[in-house]
Chain A
Amino acid sequence: MGWKIGIPRALFYYTYFPLWTTFFQALGVEVVVSPPTNKAILDQGTKSVVDETCLPVKVFFGHAATFTNKNVDFLFVPRLISVEKKAYICPKFMGLPDMLSASKIKHPPLIKPVVNKVKSEQDTHFLWDCASPFTGKWLKIKKAWHDAEQEQRNYEQKLIRKYLDITDDRKLNILLLGHDYNLYDHYVNMGLWQKLQDLDCTVFTPAQFSKEERDSQLRKFPKSIFWTYGRNLLGAVYSFMQRPGKKGVIVLSSFGCGIDSFIDNLIIRRLVEQKIPYLNVILDEHTGEGGLVTRLEAFIDIIRWRRDYHQNYVSSYGQYVGCCKGNVGVHGTKCDCTTSSYKR
């Protein structure tokens, strides 16, 4: 009889699915992934946890609940503390298995290995906790893990994209920042990618800049940031600022995200210096699609104006561009008043 392991399609599935699926398949375990997020899953998740929890965690609980009556032997919920040295993920990830066992959701037995690379890159305990229910052969586990890591590296390499479209002047370059589980879950972000592409934009994500590039750019920041996602976002912003072309930045964050509340603020300050337009989209379970479309269109229009009419006095973010007479320049009619624009 083959084993079956369930993986919820939420949170770190979106970053590490090649790694996990390849690993378990190499061990001869069938991997069952929950269906893409839909309204029923979101509602179930919202019901299962306290209101203050952020949207991605609610979605995770919804996905975990889909395994209640399914025929799987284990549910894979790793306790992700840190995936790189001196950087954490998020306190909520650290308590995820405990939160799941404390909730009312009936779930299959959990496999909850601890991933902690803050101090050392040793993964022996992690591997053993993952694989011990299925096999006792250490070499087999090691081999499977080696293959899986290779697969993950290939996947990450494929994501990295050179800055191809700089010559295409009609297209705008938009950097879409956000945590992987918000960026790639198209139900949660309401198809933002498609919408941006319909508006003739080229979309970039943090994953399209290599980790080395991001880390080296991050040295400009005076303090080392101790969240992996914070590092990704800020590093991507630094790299993106140096590229040519007309650009804008959209930050996708979930309501009440503790990490983003600080990182966003740091990002804004960097972008205002360079006068790059910035839009912050905050997601929660009540977000309406119509409002999002309107905001996106307005944002894209602003970047277009800045490009087509060279209107650098169209506000980028948090900046008042009117003058003392109350004239805000539209389509090139620039006010000659000298006492204009006070800075925030």
Chain B
Amino acid sequence: MGLNVIVPPRPTKDSLSLGVQHSPEFACIPLKICIGNLIEANQLGADTFLMVGGCGPCRFGLYGQLMKEIFQDLGINYHTLIIEPPDTGYWQFVTRVKKVIGPVSWWKIIQGIQLGYKKAVIVDKLEKYVQEIRPREFNKGTADKIFNNALQMIDQTQNLDELEEVFCLTKEKLWHIPQDESKDVLKIGLVGEIYTLLEPFASLEIEKKLGKMGAYVHRSLYLSDWVKEHLLTTRFFKLKGNDYRSYASPFLNHFVGGHGIESIGASVAFAQEGYNGIVQVAPLTCMPEIVAHNIFPQVSDKYGIPVLNIYVDEQTGETGLETRLEAFIELLEAKRKKVDRKITIC
């Protein structure tokens, strides 16, 4: 669109510790990582950051405002662009967006959005393949290598044809990975808060870890589903993703902000589909997920499905997490052998 976009480097331990220094103590880990990451991007030469606003009840809505003030105090020169959701009418929203992006034709914007969305869809499709291959491959890590390579290629594609080519090529590669077809893998549903689910660094790559331990992992949230449900759905034009909310009904009857209700609904759906266990990942002090956490024992009781709750923050250690996951997987295996569905509850 004629704007020079600086992609911040992938979050590392350094960006997290930078963020922890400058953000409020009890803030959730996504904010800390974002702040650290934005400071790094500033060092790379970015002068404007774009943030999406919100109107509650999750804390995310105030991120932009707080970041602005923190950067001001630090003396970092940053222009802030906060896109607020259309609360007072669509026209105002459109003009706000227009102000942000400047004189660019709407056709180009639509094309840009289409390409971006297609990219998200394809990355998610590939990721689902990888999730299936991970527990079965003989040579651990092959699928991840191919996937990372594909991500770089997808990043550089400019139009839909190139994208399709990369997709087909990667799919072909993934299918040729030698796999143990007869292995009976555990099925684990991963639920929780969106940022910790989608950003592997925030959750210490919990998905890969589970995969290497021999479990098939399915997430309750994928980026493309979220985009479809929240950004491309308007009053006139509805696209429905996986609707997990309807499953939550006897346990949690109301939207609680964030993804609390999706967490409960998805675990009920996973339990009905015959998954072996649920892992919940959330940032420490995340309010919606605490509500969900309080309700999980009841879900677990009713469906006989074990739940492991993991809260992540800057103090989370990798080894401790691995031990907990290993223990959880062993419990699941022991439970599966005994057939008795009621033997372990969370």
Contact = CB atoms under 8 A, between A and B. Distances in A.
Interface of A: 49-50, 52-53, 79, 81, 86-92, 94-95, 97-99, 101-103, 114, 222-227, 255-262, 264-266, 269, 343-344
Interface string B284-308: 1111101111110110000000000
A49 B297 CA distance: 11
B271 to A, nearest CB: 15
A257 B257 contact: no
B293 A258 contact: no
A94 B257 contact: yes
Contacts of B284: 52, 256
Q: Is the contact region of chain A dominated by helix, strand, or loop, or is it mixed?
A: mixed
B255 interface: yes
Given A94-B291, A223-B65, A52 B55 contact: no
A226 B26 contact: no
A257 B24 CA distance: 12
A50 B59 CA distance: 21
Nearest to B255: A94
A87 B53 CA distance: 15
Given A52-B293, A258-B286, A261-B28, 20 more contacts: A53-B294, A86-B55, A88-B257, A94-B57, A94-B254, A94-B291, A95-B260, A95-B291, A95-B292, A98-B254, A99-B291, A101-B298, A114-B254, A225-B62, A255-B26, A261-B24, A262-B59, A265-B66, A269-B69, A269-B73
Nearest to A104: B297
Nearest to A82: B57
A131 B24 CA distance: 44
B6 to A, nearest CB: 25
A289 to B, nearest CB: 23
Contact of B253 (A52, A90, A98): A98
B277 interface: no
A344 B66 contact: no
Interface string B40-56: 00000000000001011
Contact of B251 (A98, A226, A255): A98
Interface string B253-270: 111111010000000000
Contacts of B286: 258
Contacts, number: 120
A223 B291 CA distance: 27
Contacts of A102: 251, 294-295, 297-298
A343 B74 CA distance: 9
Given A222-B65, A269-B73, A261 B291 contact: no
A95 B252 contact: yes
A261 B26 contact: yes
Contacts of A98: 251-254, 291, 295
B24 A264 contact: yes
Contact of B26 (A50, A224, A257, A269): A257
Contacts of A92: 256, 287, 290-291
Contacts of B287: 90-92, 258
A265 B67 CA distance: 11
A94 B248 CA distance: 14
Nearest to B254: A94
B49 to A, nearest CB: 16
Q: Which 5 A-B pairs have the closest CB atoms?
A: A226-B56, A261-B26, A95-B291, A88-B57, A91-B287
A203 B227 CA distance: 49
A102 B288 CA distance: 15
A227 B62 CA distance: 11
A258 B59 contact: yes
5 contacts: A53-B294, A92-B290, A225-B62, A261-B285, A266-B69
A5 to B, nearest CB: 21
Nearest to B87: A86
A252 B202 CA distance: 30
Nearest to A263: B62
B294 A103 contact: yes
Given A95-B291, A223-B53, A262 B24 contact: yes
Contacts of B53: 223
A295 to B, nearest CB: 17
B297 A258 contact: no
A336 to B, nearest CB: 26
Interface in B142-165: none
Contacts of B251: 98, 102
Contacts of B26: 255-258, 260-261
Nearest to A280: B25
B195 interface: no
B11 interface: no
A87 B61 CA distance: 12
Contacts of B62: 223, 225, 262
B334 interface: no
Contacts of A91: 57-58, 256-258, 260, 287-288, 291
A265 B25 CA distance: 9
A196 to B, nearest CB: 24
B180 to A, nearest CB: 38
Given A265-B24, A269-B69, A94 B294 contact: no
A258 to B, nearest CB: 4
Q: For B59, B64, B82, which residue has the most chain A Cβ atoms within 10 angstroms? A: B59
B213 interface: no
A21 to B, nearest CB: 26
A344 B70 CA distance: 11
Q: For B58, B61, B256, which residue has the most chain A Cβ atoms within 10 angstroms? A: B256
A202 B102 CA distance: 53
Contacts of A114: 254
